[in-house]
Amino acid sequence: ALFENKNEQEKPNGFKFLLKYFRLYRKYVFQLVLGLLLGSCIQLIIPFLTQSIIDIGLNNNDIGFIYLILFAQLALLIGRMSVEFIRGWLLLHIGARVNVAIISGFLQKLMSLPVAFFDTKLTGDILQRIEDNNRIEEFLTSASLNILFSFFNLVVFGIVLAVFSIKILLLYLLGAALYIVWVSLFMKSRARLDHQRFKKMSESGTKLINIVNGMQEIKLTQSELSMRWDWENLQASLFKLKVKGLSIIQYQSAGATFINEVTNVLITIVAATAVLKGNMTLGMMLAVQFIIGQLNVPVNQIIGFFRMSQDARMSLDRLAEVHQMDDEESNPEMKLRKLPEKKDIYINNLSYQYEGPRSPFALKDVDLFIEENKITAIVGTSGSGKTTLLKMILGFYPPTNGEILIGDTRLSNISLKIWREKVGAVMQDGYLFPDTVTANIMPGSEEINEERLVDAAEIACIRGFIESLPLGYNTKIGANGHGLSEGQKQRLLIARVIYKNPDIIMFDEATNSLDANNEKVIVENLAGFFEGKTVIVVAHRLSTVKGADKIVVLDGGRIIETGTHESLIEKRGAYFNLVKNQLELGN
């Protein structure tokens, strides 16, 4: 597989991965633990107060003492509520910040992955991994630090219960052990269902994105019904998984409730028998009942912790799957930070396969010299490998065989960040962001150079359109240029490259959506802009390529002809046939 992890044993542990984020908030975690201990100490006093009301206040008919104890309990209750309030805020603060840090780290990792990763992953799959962070946040805010409180309460109240009756403590521990074992029996089934749910949710998310993005084609092909049925079939599958999940929860809850109630009944019988035999006072029995109630809370929290930790672990593992993948550029600090003086591009014996050793070659044994400061055009039929070659020069795909040299230096030895600073490209599938026109022409730039901005729009023949908009360059456009014509999108993408003013320019069918008049003007405008730059143009139209210094003809991933427009026409080979077919179509 394209992204198989070569070092399976290096897979990061989910919760170790989480701990590095917690270390950033050690101070808050310490305050939280302190608050948990204070809350537990308050809880610890209450059973003794309950016992004293019965054994001292009622037995001695001392109403003043009873009032005193009740006021003390009220004060403790207010104290406990205050501690809970502060604890809740601290948990929210830590959980929210850690969650943002995890998602930010995930996005940072996504941006460092090679383009080929996004070619092989569904959009819904990536979005679902981000959505899974909700489960991680819930685990952080509701379970992770609460488990300390639960274990502390379990130990402390267990010791207090032992002071009242060892027999009752052992009976309770037996019931709690059966309770935990029963719930644990369903963990594997929950994990299996969760993996199935994730897959279906990813497919559902991708399907919805495709329906929204492809609405025009859906209407044109009248496939509304089939598209809706496909989505509803996915929902039906998800519903079945939810029903299975609900069944597991119901079986878990029914068994756990039965074990818990039987345990409580047996403890009540033992305690009542002890009172009747005079081995225990009524106040002690009520205190025991209170302690059992307090012990049930941490046991339930521990069970909840196991469930939520399992969910969070699976979500963390899904994030870790991405984090453990190799970056687009390994060891960037070892790469050259400066391009060679001579920037001729040499492509030697270059081959590429998209999906491993058994897949067909997209490019095969390509040898090509692209001279600096010259225009090189690449032509060929659809699927001949033109775009793939361009993406390999951009560093998006690593060669299966062969190499690409910039001057006398391998592209693989040059920092991709430095290389792409010097390169500008308009791709077939270039993307416009849902932002202002200005932000789309100069994405990532912090300072606006208005003169360059207007010049870029002028050269790309889009200035008049932009300035006719209500807010001009500050007008917001829809995702991927929604509301613009294909020609307007392409002109904005061309303006983006012109604004960047790179040394090396690559156009992949950059003018194929333009009308003849606009294309003619833009080609004339670009002629001056191209001076002193290395230009690689992939195109079908004769008007775009005939002025190139070199024309390269690709077929089936191989170079079959190179030369100028005139020399290739004289050969009357593949290029001649492409031109002839285009002229015939034009006529």
- And the tokens for 256? 């756990």
Q: Residue 221 pLDDT > 90, yes or no?
A: no
Please state the rounded mean pLDDT for residues 505-529.
85
The 550-555 sheet, strands edge to edge: 423-426, 504-508, 534-538, 375-380, 550-555, 558-563
138 and 43 in a common domain = yes
Q: Which tens digits make up the pLDDT trace of 263-321?
A: 888 888 888 888 888 887 787 788 787 778 777 777 777 777 777 777 777 777 777 77
Is the same domain home to 416 and 367?
Answer: yes
pLDDT in tens, 470-489: 889 999 888 777 778 888 89
Q: Which two tokens stand for residue 275?
A: 């009172």
Q: Hey, which residues does 504 pair with through a beta bridge?
A: 423, 534
Mean pLDDT over the full length of the chain: 82
Q: Point out the least confidently predicted range of 204-213, 347-356, 405-414.
A: 204-213
* Domain match, 111 and 161 both: yes
Binned at pLDDT 50, 70 and 90, residue 15 comes out as low
365 and 467 both lie in a single domain: yes
- Position 454 scores a pLDDT of 92
Q: Are residues 296 and 359 in the same domain?
A: no
Alpha carbons 70 and 51: distance in angstroms, whole number: 12
Q: What is the pLDDT of residues 375-404, one digit of tens each?
A: 999 998 888 889 999 999 999 888 999 999
Determine the structural domain holding residue 290 and report its residue range. Answer: 10-323
For residue 13, the model assigns a pLDDT of 54
Q: For residue 330, tell me if it sits in a domain.
A: no
CA dihedral 388, 391, 397, 401 (to 10 degrees): 60
Beta 409-410 vs 401-406: how paired, if at all?
Answer: antiparallel
Model confidence over 527-553: pLDDT tens digits? 888 898 999 999 877 777 888 999 999
Q: How far is CA 410 from CA 153, 340, 555, 581, in A?
A: 63, 10, 26, 39
Would you say residue 329 lies in a domain? Answer: no
Please state the domain count of the chain. Answer: 2
Q: Mapping DSSP to helix (H, G, I), strand (E, B) and coil, where does residue 182 land?
A: helix
The predicted model gives 50-55 an average pLDDT of 74
User: According to the model, what pLDDT value does residue 12 have?
Assistant: 47
Query: Is residue 382 located within the same domain as residue 256?
Result: no
Reading phi first (left if > 0) and then psi (alpha if -120 to 50, else beta), residue 572 is in: left
For the segment 38-62, the average pLDDT, to the nearest whole number, is 73
**Bridging pattern class, strands 345-353 and 361-370:** antiparallel
Q: Which of 293, 323, 353 is the last residue of a domain?
A: 323
Cα torsion through 422, 426, 430, 436, rounded to 10 = 70
Query: Domain check: are 363 and 466 in the same one?
Result: yes
Q: How far is CA 377 from CA 430, 527, 545, in A?
A: 19, 14, 6
Rg for the chain (alpha carbons), in Å? Answer: 35
Kindly state whether residues 278 and 425 are assigned to the same domain: no
Q: Which helix (H) or strand (E) holds 366?
A: strand 361-370
Q: Is the pLDDT of residue 366 over 80?
A: yes
Question: Do 287 and 436 belong together in one domain?
Answer: no
Sign of CA dihedral 305, 308, 310, 316: negative
Chain position carrying tokens 């308009």? 426
Domain assignment present for residue 336? The answer is no
Q: Are residues 256 and 183 in contact, defined by beta-carbon separation less than 8 angstroms?
A: yes
- Position 574 pLDDT exceeds 70: yes
Grade residue 445 by pLDDT with cuts at 50, 70 and 90.
low
DSSP single-letter state for residue 435: S
| Phi, psi dihedral angles at 451 (to 5 degrees) | -65, -45
Characterise 363 by phi-psi region: left (phi > 0), alpha (psi -120 to 50), beta (else).
beta
Query: How many Å apart are CA 350 and CA 486, to the nearest integer?
Result: 33
Q: How many residues does the chain have?
A: 587
